[in-house]
């Protein structure tokens, strides 16, 4: 059995667990899995290795370690996991637009209002989000739905930095493409994404190019708060995904010490790529404009192997389960600038949500 199959069998037997997976040009394809008895840990003091889940602004945080920990290079397995293959979400009539917290008209109206503030000089770029929501088919589907989503996602062999959390406190599956922070001793690297589409579009879109430049500058400034030295390793580069491209940057920094403290880590939150610039002003605007509480959406999720080695993602493209209310939500966002076309931004959020339908295999309407 491969690592994910072992994880599925363990949590379906009733244990809590976390499966964190990274696949990109930086680290290859690595997995980190924790199951068994769960314990509260400290970001700085451990015990290590620990898993860390943090909300958008870092005000809600979980640090856990498990009795059983496994890690290594992920090996793809063509063998089907029967319990997941047979699971049907029962949402065959899901319409993304109808399941969104905004209507097309309300979304466009809010984007236009934000653009008016941008023209007045209040901000340069803001990541405006909405959520796709729905009810679970039944009370037993919470774990199956997130396990199924990541199972199908792994089959697609996409670059990612995500995984599954199934604990008493949280149930979610993150299909995130964005690596927020890689720490190795006193070296920090962050990889903001701004721009998704065809290679030709990303190479020539002034809006997408300027948006990444603004966020890269913001991330450089954020690292500068905690690092002695900060530099831009790669200003803008395109990565080929399954059927599209992402525009990314690579920003690096050097800490004064080898250990990353919680105080320093929290200085980086919220991440610039999913908030905006200038950050403080954008946060105030988003709290008024957005129709739901982000909570852990656009927060961070990762593994701390030691005080000197960590990998974190940004919790985007993430399916959150509320097992008490028997509901799910899948928030999605778009970067808003003066150059944005409001209707295109609406469509972009729905396109990002399509991965959920692909991975849970909702039947087309």
Angle made by CA atoms 242, 183, 26, in degrees to the nearest 5: 30
Provide the pLDDT confidence category of residue 362 given band limits of 50, 70 and 90: low
pLDDT at 364 over 50: no
Of 174, 164, 93, nearest in space to 135 by CA: 93
pLDDT at 211 over 90: no
257 CB-near residues (< 8 Å, 6+ apart): 186
For residue range 170-179, list pLDDT tens digits in order. 999 999 999 9
CB neighbourhood size of 165 (10 A)? 27
Ramachandran quadrant class, 288 (left: phi over 0; alpha: psi -120 to 50; beta: rest): alpha
Return the exposure string of 280-293: e unless at least 16 CB atoms fall within 10 Å of the residue's CB, then b: eebeebbeebbeee
Containing 7, the helix (H) or strand (E) segment is helix 3-12
Measure CA of the first residue to CA of the last residue in the chain; give whole Å: 35
Lowest mean pLDDT among 87-91, 236-240, 329-333: 87-91
The residues spanned by each domain of the chain are: 3-360
Ramachandran quadrant class, 130 (left: phi over 0; alpha: psi -120 to 50; beta: rest): beta
For residue range 59-76, list pLDDT tens digits in order. 999 999 999 999 999 988
For residue range 12-36, list pLDDT tens digits in order. 999 999 999 999 888 889 999 999 9
Query: Across-strand partners of 28?
Result: 24
CB neighbourhood size of 182 (10 A)? 22
At 246 the three-state DSSP class reads strand
pLDDT at 96 over 60: yes
24 within 8 A of 171, measured Cβ to Cβ: no
162 CB-near residues (< 8 Å, 6+ apart): 20, 21, 150, 153, 173, 174, 175, 176, 301, 313, 317, 318
- Could you tell me what percentage of the chain is helix, strand and coil, using 3-state DSSP and rounding each to the nearest 5? 30, 35, 35
Whole-angstrom distance, CA of residue 222 vs CA of residue 206: 24
For residue range 273-326, list pLDDT tens digits in order. 999 999 999 999 999 999 999 999 999 999 999 999 999 999 999 999 998 899
Containing 153, the helix (H) or strand (E) segment is helix 141-156
| Secondary structure (DSSP) of 158-173 | --EEEEEEESSS-EEE
pLDDT at 270 over 60: yes
Beta strands in 41-96 (DSSP E): 50-54, 61-73
- What is the reported pLDDT for 91? 64
- What is the reported pLDDT for 108? 98
Whole-angstrom distance, CA of residue 51 vs CA of residue 311: 10
User: Which tokens in the block code for residue 143?
Assistant: 């774990």
User: Which tokens in the block code for residue 121?
Assistant: 């000089």
Whole-angstrom distance, CA of residue 278 vs CA of residue 55: 20
For residue range 124-167, list pLDDT tens digits in order. 999 999 999 999 888 778 999 999 999 999 998 889 999 999 99
Residue-averaged pLDDT of the chain: 93
At 39 the three-state DSSP class reads strand
User: Which tokens in the block code for residue 202?
Assistant: 């990303």
Of 66, 92, 78, 86, nearest in space to 7 by CA: 66
Whole-angstrom distance, CA of residue 116 vs CA of residue 111: 9
The CATH number, out of the four listed (3.90.420.10, 1.10.1740.10, 3.60.120.10, 3.40.50.10860), of the domain defined by the range 3-360: 3.60.120.10
Per DSSP, 266 falls in state H
């Amino acid at each position: 059995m491969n690592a994910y199959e072992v994880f599925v069998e363990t949590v379906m037997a009733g244990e809590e667990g976390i499966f964190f997976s990274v696949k990109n040009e930086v680290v290859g394809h690595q997995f980190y899995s924790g199951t068994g008895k769960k314990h509260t840990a400290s970001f700085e003091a451990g015990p290590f290795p620990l898993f860390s889940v943090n909300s958008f602004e870092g005000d809600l945080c979980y640090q856990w370690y498990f009795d059983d920990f496994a890690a290594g290079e992920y090996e793809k397995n063509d063998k089907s996991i029967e319990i997941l293959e047979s699971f049907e979400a029962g949402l065959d009539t899901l319409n993304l637009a109808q399941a969104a917290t905004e209507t097309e008209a309300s979304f466009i109206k809010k984007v236009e209002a934000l653009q008016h503030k941008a023209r007045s000089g209040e901000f340069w770029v803001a990541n405006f989000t909405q959520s796709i929501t729905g009810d679970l088919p039944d009370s037993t589907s919470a774990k199956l739905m997130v396990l199924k989503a990541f199972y199908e996602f792994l089959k697609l062999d996409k670059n990612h930095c995500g995984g599954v959390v199934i604990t008493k406190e949280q149930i979610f599956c993150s299909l995130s493409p964005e690596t927020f922070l890689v720490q190795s001793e006193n070296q920090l690297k962050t990889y903001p994404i701004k721009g998704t589409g065809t290679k030709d579009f990303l190479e020539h879109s002034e809006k997408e190019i300027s948006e990444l430049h603004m966020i890269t500058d913001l991330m450089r400034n954020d690292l500068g708060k905690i690092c002695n030295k900060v530099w831009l390793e790669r200003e803008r580069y395109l990565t080929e995904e399954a059927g599209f491209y992402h525009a990314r940057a690579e920003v690096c920094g050097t800490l004064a010490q080898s250990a990353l403290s919680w105080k320093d880590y929290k200085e980086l939150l919220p991440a610039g790529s999913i908030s905006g610039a200038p950050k403080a002003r954008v946060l105030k605007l988003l709290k008024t404009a957005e129709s739901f509480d982000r909570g852990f959406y656009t927060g961070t999720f990762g593994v701390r192997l030691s005080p000197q080695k960590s990998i974190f993602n940004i919790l985007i493209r993430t399916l959150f389960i509320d097992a008490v209310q028997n509901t799910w939500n899948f928030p999605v966002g778009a970067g808003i600038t003066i150059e944005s076309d409001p209707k295109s931004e609406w469509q972009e959020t729905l396109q990002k949500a399509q991965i959920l339908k692909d991975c849970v295999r909702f039947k087309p309407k």
